[in-house]
Structure 1
């Protein structure tokens, strides 16, 4: 049977409606394929979503991106949502240290000079490190700049060992490297692959002056990753099937696949499996990849999100991060949530293995006094609501050795491709990595089909 005679030719099924699946579906549809996207949840967006609580719209967790996240920026542009998640004009991170006798505010920020001078002045004025420690950071930065994040040897070394070898004190790791690394890698330096850490720090801090400028959604994530994504998919001709779980993927004797859903079967010559690694392992046809057990060896790491609604304004800046406190990053989500009276703060607690199952009452006892210690205006304020969202498998764990476990988009089965931030994108588990994986999977599928296409990031360059 020729492709022209085969009714399945040109049909694609994307399984999973997170950022990776949305991206793959859009790219395949733009190339002329007839695409169905199947998602088990009643919404799109994967683990970056919103929900209603009372009269508010709440994000499950705070998500940010950097100017160097070119794939996610393309994604926002493609959905028509870039203006809803703007970037800082220049990197500026308020860092409040309450570990000493008196609270002290510092800032991590850049100027407009070329790399690496763009950070020199900010580092020189950073009060949370001694003069000697600041000098040691500069030397480590120069050494980091020489590393190749794609070197497989770096994947076997933990970041903390490398930092120690390059003269970084425990205080320097706490007040700088882990301050950034825990938020971007979801692991401390001791539990992070040097390769992934080098990717984060080299790309974000040592490529272009503005690479680490921070962006975040000023609207609920669901408005971007669900509402706008559904419209973009529909406009591209994608059929989106929500509340649709995939029971299995079977190879057809004549080629292509049958995708078994709850109540029907879809046939396609191209399938993109854009789900978490354990779910992908359960759905992979036999022989699709060598040693499929390695997918199960890719561990996960949790993120805990603490949500506090006050009866008054207690924070005057959009966000800050803390030292000497269990509190990590705090964001003002008042306007985005729709709150019109008081203030809503969201605390993002990464690498939260020790707290992910802690009861809400205990978390309340721990974090409300800490917020009062960090924010004097919170003392005496009435807490109208306190709740917690938990993502127990928020990201893949970026531990040393994970690089050799992450599969590429291509499988050994023709027409079957993998997507998800856990695949071999070279990035940690970020929104950027998820979008890049969708681009990789769609590009590999179109190449195999002989369909002309160009990578959108290369087009932008």
Structure 2
């Protein structure tokens, strides 16, 4: 019987606190969003935590760098209102105000390949319940025929009826499902892939139906505001490195960058040794929050039943094209494009610190065919496409043109990938996995990364008998 007292808990860590069980030590390997989240959660629960990151910065694949006077994000990252874990993370590092959400979903979609010329449409929601919140937008969406609009509505209702817990969905591809539900090639390009490529990093035919259904059901068919878009109005490094490091410091986490883990080993059936050049760190729990191939290399024998499955999880690239003009050429903060290789265009002028002109970033997902092309070839292709898309670019001077490439930006959401994604727990006591590629139920997004970090910390805290921090992100029952 309980005596009514509660285990000592601190809602957020403080380097000066001495909490019950503070002698317990956790090492988190990897300083991306998953690793930072796990480290914060463990520290907030009163544990001593060491975070080790091989790069000179935190943030993983969502980071910034300097190019002359510009502060450049390696790629454009957005999130949705339904990304509740990432929103919690922003609150935890005190960065929510720097990455605000739209008041209401509104996406301008410009088609440059219509017989009558350029045509602008919009995907936006009304203040109505699901699915009526998108009814008017789809009814007037000019990039689909009337027949396609009707069929899109029927397919959306069928999608809403799918059971995301059904493992059979993972083995099917989204493109075949769309075709079986009457979706034309035009509808797939102008709507389903417009959203799906950006969120899944794959076209419909290459994507698991399970992951695609999760994206559309959660983002567009769960709550009227679920798909409202948010993005950083400052460089990503301000959030995922600077503010994250400040939060880690305040929580008492020892953070070491430029520190690559060479191996981990278990002893005494419970304790762990984490080996880095010049030091061996002992720990009660280890969280591996690194990509799947690096995880495979570090896993001790027997930690997973079939560790080779990690190597079967494919990767998918994202290409980002950056153009600086000598004048303003785009009035909207962003737009999506049809009838052109250009997918999404974002105005990064203010965030980059550019004082005059305009800086546009083109986010090109599922870029397998272009990821290794020379900059000169990409310049020759994309500048004319931007002239078709944005007429004011035709008289503008190009002050800078460069590209950033993430060849392994995400895991490939191919059919069957679900059975390859491991959960947070391993068979080795005290060893846990985190990363957007683990079994979160989400595609490879910032949301998935944060959820994985919370799951790994939860598993470690339960095993060690530590109380869950009161303010840690709480998973919904359906998650």
Does 2:53 correspond to 1:45? Answer: no
Q: What SS does the corresponding residue of 1:456 show, helix, strand or coil?
A: coil
Cα deviation code 1:322-366 (max 9, x no counterpart)? 000000000000000000110000000000000000000000000
Q: Does the aligned pair in 1 maintain the 2:23–2:48 contact within 8 Å?
A: no
Return the match for 1:163 from 178, 198, 217.
Answer: 178
What secondary structure, in the 3-state scheme, does the structure 1 residue paired with 2:168 have?
A: helix
The structural deviation recorded for 1:456 is 3.0
Unaligned runs of 5+ residues in structure 2 are 1-20
Residue of structure 1 aligned with 2:104, choices 83, 90, 93: 90
Q: Which residue of 2 aligns with 1:118?
A: 133
In structure 2, the partner of 1:182 is 197
- What is residue 3 of structure 1 aligned with on the other side? none
2:247 is aligned with 1:214: no
CA distance in structure 1 between the partners assigned to 2:269 and 2:318 by the alignment:
45
Moved more, 95-104 or 195-204: 95-104
Q: Is the 8 A contact 1:9 1:268 kept in 2?
A: no
CA contact (8 A) 1:66 1:204 kept: yes
The answer to whether the aligner puts 1:358 opposite 2:373 as a matched pair is yes
Q: Of residues 443, 457, 460 in structure 1, which corresponds to 2:473?
A: 457
2 CA distance for matches of 1:387 and 1:370? 16
Q: 1:324 aligns with which of 339, 361, 373?
A: 339
Q: Distance in 1 between matches of 2:85 and 2:201?
A: 20
Match of 2:242 in 1: 227
Tell me if structure 2 keeps the 8 A contact 1:8–1:256. Answer: no
Distance change >3 Å, CA 218–CA 412, structure 1 → 2: same
254-263 vs 272-281, which deviates more?
A: 254-263
Q: Name the CA distance, whole Å, in 2 between partners of 1:254 and 1:41.
A: 31
TM-score (normalised: structure 1): 0.97
Indicate conservation of the 8 Å contact 1:8/1:269, yes or no.
no
Task: After superposing the two structures, state which structure 1 stretch, 444-453 or 405-414, moved more.
Answer: 444-453
Task: Detail structure 1 runs of 4+ shifted over 4 Å in the superposition.
Answer: none
Alignment equivalent of 1:69, drawn from 66, 80, 83: 83
Match for residue 397 of structure 1?
A: 412
Q: What TM-score, normalized to structure 2?
A: 0.94
1:146 Cα deviation from its structure 2 partner = 0.6
Work out the CA distance in 1 between the residues paired with 2:229 and 2:241.
22
Tell me the number of residue pairs that the alignment of Structure 1 and Structure 2 aligns. 455
Instruction: Kindly provide the CA deviation profile for residues 373-425 of structure 1, in whole angstroms up to 9, marking residues without a partner as x.
Output: 10000002100000000000000000000000000000000000000000000
- For residues 180 and 139 of structure 1, the distance between their equivalents in structure 2, rounded to whole angstroms, comes to 18
Cα-Cα RMSD: 1.3
- Kindly indicate whether residue 17 of structure 2 is the aligned counterpart of residue 25 of structure 1: no
Q: Paired residue for 2:95, among 74, 81, 94?
A: 81
* Offset, 1:253: 3.0
Partners of 1:133 and 1:330 in 2: CA distance: 26
In structure 2, what is the equivalent of residue 4 of structure 1?
A: none
CA distance in 1, matches of 2:295, 2:105: 37
**Alignment match, 2:9:** none
Question: For residues 121 and 254 of structure 1, do their structure 2 counterparts lie closer, same or farther at Cα, with a shift above 3 Å needed?
Answer: closer
**Aligned pair partner of 1:134 in 137, 141, 149:** 149
Q: 2:428 aligns with which of 406, 413, 426?
A: 413
Structure 1: runs of 5 or more not aligned: 1-6
Aligned partners of 1:398 and 1:428 also within 8 Å: yes
SS at 1:458's partner residue?
A: coil
Deviation string 1:261-281 (CA, Å, 9 cap, x unpaired) is 011010001000000000000
Q: In the alignment, what sits opposite 2:122?
A: 107
Structure 1 counterpart of 2:396: 381
Measured after TM superposition, the shift of residue 150 of structure 1 is 2.4
